[in-house]
Amino acid sequence: MSSFKTLRINHIALVVGELDAPLHFWRDGLGLALAQTEAVPEQQAEVAFLPVGESHVELVQPTTSDSGLARFLAKRGPGMHHVCVEVDNIRAALAHLKGLGFRLIDETPRLGHAGRQYAFIHPESAQGVLVELYELPPAGSQ
């Protein structure tokens, strides 16, 4: 059996052309709090984080015109971009997926904000859905 556990949906990410209209829907319409908005240079994007239960909604606005996100937005319009599931051992999860023959975008985790590790699985592996894996650092380690 696999040596990792999938814990929860960490977030769903929606790609948007600008932040005002989706904030109006998710914050004013559905009552979610806007926890923060931050620039994410590695994704060439501005991201708004809205917690909901143990997950959050991420609104991702491309800030350049030539990133993967910007091309996704130009081609498909705004909408769902990816779903991120949190695991307790991202390296074990990636090795397990690779061993089953699933196509990965990142074969080793990338290091993101605040010590989190993340990796993307190719949408070919999940019937067109782009799935991100997260492993958060142990509580209190930051």
- Angstrom distance (rounded) from CA 95 to CA 100: 9
- Angstrom distance (rounded) from CA 132 to CA 105: 10
- Looking at residues 35 to 94 of the shown chain, list those that interact with a second copy (rule: CB under 8 A): 52-55, 77-80, 83, 85, 87, 93
Residue closest to 136 by CA, chosen among 107, 112, 106, 108? 112
- The answer to whether residue 25 forms part of the interface with a second copy (CB under 8 A) is yes
Q: Which is nearer to a second copy, 85 or 105 (CB)?
A: 85
* Choice from 68, 111, 129, 137 touching a second copy (CB under 8 A): 129
Q: How far is the CB of 110 from a second copy (least distance, A)?
A: 19
Q: Which of 28-36, 38-46, 107-115, 134-142 is the region at the interface with a second copy (rule: CB under 8 A)?
A: 28-36
Residues in the chain: 142
Q: Which is nearer to a second copy, 43 or 122 (CB)?
A: 122
Sequence-ordered strand ranges (E) for 72-135:
79-87, 110-111, 117-121, 131-135
Q: Which of 26-34, 40-48, 63-71, 111-119 is the region at the interface with a second copy (rule: CB under 8 A)?
A: 26-34
- Angstrom distance (rounded) from CA 51 to CA 70: 24
- The answer to whether residue 16 forms part of the interface with a second copy (CB under 8 A) is yes
Q: Which amino acid is present at 16?
A: V
- The answer to whether residue 30 forms part of the interface with a second copy (CB under 8 A) is yes
Q: Which two tokens stand for residue 125?
A: 């592996």
Residue closest to 107 by CA, chosen among 84, 133, 85, 130? 133
Q: Which residues bind a second copy (CB under 8 A)?
A: 2, 4-9, 12, 14, 16-17, 21-22, 24-26, 28-32, 52-55, 77-80, 83, 85, 87, 93, 96-97, 100, 102, 123, 125-129, 131
